[in-house]
Structure 1
C-alpha cells in the first residue's frame, strides 16, 4: 500500500524521484494523458524506505537497476490537480545505472509497463521550454548542488 491518503482538505502523497543526468540530458517522464513532465519515480509504499522505493519504481517502469548515489533535494509541494488540493513530500535522489539504457536519444519512448508512461531524455538547456513539475526543477537541475536542498513550493 502506498503512502497516500485523502482527507476533506486534500490529498497527501509521499513521492520519490530520480535525477538521472547523462551528457547534458535529464530523464523525464509523463503520463500519456497529461502534458506535463516530471522526474521518474513514484509513491513510497508503507514500510518501504525511500531509496528502495526508487529502485523498485525504476525496475517496474523501465526494467533497469539504478544505483542511488545521494539525496539531492527535498520538496514540499503544494498544488491543485484534478480539482483536488495536494500536499506532496518529494525525496529526489541522484541516480546512475550500469546500462546501455543511458544512450541518449531525444525521441520519446515507453517503458516495460506499456504505453501508460512516456519517457524522454530532455536536454537540460531546453527545460524552460517544457511544462515540468515541480517548476523549481528547471533551475535546480541546471545548477545541481552537492548538498541537500530543501524547497517549499506553493
Structure 2
C-alpha cells in the first residue's frame, strides 16, 4: 500500500526520486498523463524504507538496478498539481544514483519504456535546459548545479 491519501481537495504523498546524471545532463521523464518533465521515482509503500523504494521504482520504470550514492535532499513540497488540481503536501527524498554498470547510457538521448499500461518517455536534459523546460521540482532548476555536501532538509512552496 502506497503512503498517500486524499481528503477532499488535499493530497499527502511520501515519495522518493532518483537523481541520475551523466555528462551535465539529468534523466527526466514524462508520461501520457503529465505534460511536464519529472524525475524517476514514486511513492514509498507502507513498511518499506525510502532506500528500498527508490531502487524498486527505478527498476520498475527503467528496468535497471541502480546503486544509491547518497541522499541529497528531503523536500517538503506544498503545491497544486497541474493535472489533477489537488493541493499537495509532499515529502520527497531525492537520492543521487549510480547507473554506470546498468547499460542505461547506451539507450540514447531519448527512449520510451512501458510499465504496465503506462508509457514513459525519457530524455537526458542538459542542466542549463531545465530553466526553460516545463519541469518539476522547480528547486532543481538551480540546485542541479550545486549538490549539498550533506543531507539537507528543504521546503518548497509553489
TM-score by length of 2: 0.90
1:132-147 alignment, distance < 5 Å: 132-147=135-150
SS at match of 2:144: helix
SS at match of 2:16: strand
Q: CA RMSD in A?
A: 1.6
Match of 2:153 in 1: 150
Match of 1:34 in 2: 34
SS at match of 1:53: helix
Instruction: Measure, in 2, the Cα distance between the counterparts of 1:6 and 1:33.
Output: 19
Contact 1:104 1:121 (C-alpha < 8 Å) held by counterparts: no
Match of 2:62 in 1: 62
Instruction: Measure, in 2, the Cα distance between the counterparts of 1:121 and 1:35.
Output: 16
**Can you give the 5+ residue segments of structure 1 that lack an aligned partner in the other structure?**
none
**Can you give the 5+ residue segments of structure 2 that lack an aligned partner in the other structure?**
none
1:108-119 alignment, distance < 5 Å: 109-113=111-115, 116-119=119-122
Q: Alpha-carbon deviations, 1:111-146, whole Å to 9, x = none?
A: 242652211111112111101112001111121222
Change (3 A) 1:116 1:104: closer
TM-score by length of 1: 0.92
Aligned residues: 153
SS at match of 1:103: helix
Q: Which moved more, 1:95-104 or 1:122-131?
A: 95-104
